[in-house]
Structure 1
Amino acid sequence: MPRPYASGVVPASADAVWSLMRDFNGLPGWLPAVSASELTEGGSGAEVGAVRRLTLGDGGVVVERLLELHDAERRCTYEILESPFAVRRYVSTFRVAPVTSSGEAFVEWWSEYDAEGADEAGLTQTFADAIYGGGITALGTHFGA
């Protein structure tokens, strides 16, 4: 089972970064790959079980369900229900931790999924580099890096 992973330091406090990332309906505000988000279940988006419908920049649609939102540990886990990606049982987590020496935030983002063997390398690169790594870079831009 592939496990794409990305991490980075964002020039803002862990609390500030978590406040932005924890909004299950807020991806279009900072993740360039997502042009729109709509909650289809779960009114506030902070409820486990909430479902969002994301529209990607290329017009693709991804539907995801919130599995865990843990404020004390600054951790969020969600699953893909529908997507243009050839994945099965995709579950992703991101976590925000303080960098105590600088006051910045350490962000890590990963997933596990199943796919056909021939698709794994390309999917892993897309998730790790374009989505997670690109998202962490975008957070840095959002916070003024």
Structure 2
Amino acid sequence: MPAYASTVLNAPADEVWGYLRDFGNLAEWLPGITLCEFEEGDGSRPGTVRRLEGTGGTFRERLLTLDDVSRSASYEILESPLPVRDYRAVYRVAPVTDSGRAFVEWSATFEADDETRMTKTFTRGVFEPGLASLHKHFPD
């Protein structure tokens, strides 16, 4: 069961993607993250590794894809204090054609001994608060 959340932002998809394609700005908009820095690469291409620090501990993640055409990116967790394995996440921005707004979705697949609990942790503890905070950057 994948973790999943989505929202609609009051801004054009290209503008929202211009902000979210930055693999190094997570500390600006994800609640609980106090530091996001690159260990390898510069965030502009796959292979970049970022280190995140925050209330949940230290995470290391690698950018897998960055696609400006589909306005999507994917990444994997390399190290995490959470009990998950084979974590892969995707976030995507699409235009809402009848309103000019942006539809943003964030999802992840992973393995865990307690997948239900970890799905809830990522959905309610990471994705939903993160997407909600984007409304501050793109107010209604």
- Which bin holds the TM-score, normalised by the shorter protein? over 0.9
Partner of 1:50: 48
Give the TM-score normalised by structure 2.
0.96
Give the drift of 1:122: 1.6
5 Å-filtered alignment, 1:70-81, equals 70-81=67-78
Report the secondary structure of 2:19's partner residue.
Answer: helix
2:119 equivalent in structure 1: 124
- 2:133 equivalent in structure 1: 138
The count of aligned residue pairs is 140
* Counterpart for residue 13 of structure 1: 12
Q: Letter of the aligned partner of 2:83 in structure 1?
A: A
What amino acid sits opposite 2:39 in the alignment? T
Q: What stretches of structure 2 of length at least 5 have no aligned partner?
A: none
**Matched residue, 2:99:** 102
Instruction: Quote the sequence identity (%).
Output: 48
Distance in 2 between the 1:16 and 1:104 partners? 10
Question: Segments of 4+ in structure 1 off by > 3 A?
Answer: none
Cα RMSD, aligned residues only = 1.1
Q: What is the alpha-carbon distance in structure 2 between the residues aligned to residue 138 and residue 14 of structure 1?
A: 17
The structural deviation recorded for 1:33 is: 2.4
Q: Which moved more, 1:62-71 or 1:131-140?
A: 131-140
Q: 1:38 maps to which residue?
A: 37
**Residue 59 (structure 1) shift:** 5.6
